[in-house]
Amino acid sequence: MNYIPFYCILGFAVIVTALFLIWRDPAKPAMNSLLKGISSFAFMVLALVCTFMNEALTFPVLFILIGLTASIFGDLYLAGKDFKDKHEEGALFAGFGSFCVTQIMYLLGLIFLYGFTWWSFLIGGLLTLMLLLSEKMLKLNFDKFRIIVAIYSILLMTVLGQGIMSLALNGYTLAGLLFMLGVIFFALSDLILSFIYFKKDTKDIVYTFNLLTYYIGQILIASAILFI
């Protein structure tokens, strides 16, 4: 297989994301949303190129593509959070809803690839319980978002658990490794996001780390399609 198209689009996605992180300006939310949209478009293009090169639109690949698409809508909804307007709460709920769809699709993709294990739900439930119990210790305030945060956390951590257990039970595959690493970065991104949305006086560097880990995660997940 000729990997040149993959490396070209991968390089494009990395460069676009890096420029977004460098040029991002808290005083220009509209420009931030535009750059964020372009960065999200880049990892979607990477996923489509990997699908074309793989020449196999299987159910796992289809689920991943749907998940990536849903995450772009989540990006757009959560970008509204930067505007600090009256639609902020609705945008946050819509963003969580979109990313819930993303995690469901990722979970289905992993199940179709490696089979289902109840350990993933156990890991997801325990990690979510730890997050909710540590809310006060971390000085977070989920308030009216507590239920949607719990639902999303269970889905995200279950996907993480499914990725880990898939490798542990089925052995090493490059696709599985890339997917698992992608989900780890995704989970780290959302943990950082909790401090942005549910803790007061968050420094701007925290936003940068949130975006960095998020895009690394999505690029890894998109790249995994090539090796499925």
**Residue 55: Cβ-neighbour burial (10 angstroms; 0-12, 13-18, 19+):** exposed
Digit-by-digit pLDDT tens for the chain (228 residues) are 788 999 999 999 999 999 988 888 777 777 777 888 888 899 999 999 999 998 878 999 999 999 999 999 888 777 655 444 445 777 788 888 999 999 999 999 999 988 888 888 898 889 889 888 888 888 888 888 889 889 999 999 999 999 888 888 877 889 989 999 999 999 999 888 888 888 776 677 888 898 999 999 999 999 999 998
Q: What is the pLDDT of residue 171?
A: 79
Q: Which two tokens stand for residue 168?
A: 């542990």
The model's pTM: 0.89
Question: In the chain, what is the straight-line distance between the N-terminal and C-terminal CA atoms, in Å?
Answer: 14
CA atoms of 58 and 209, how far apart (whole Å): 33
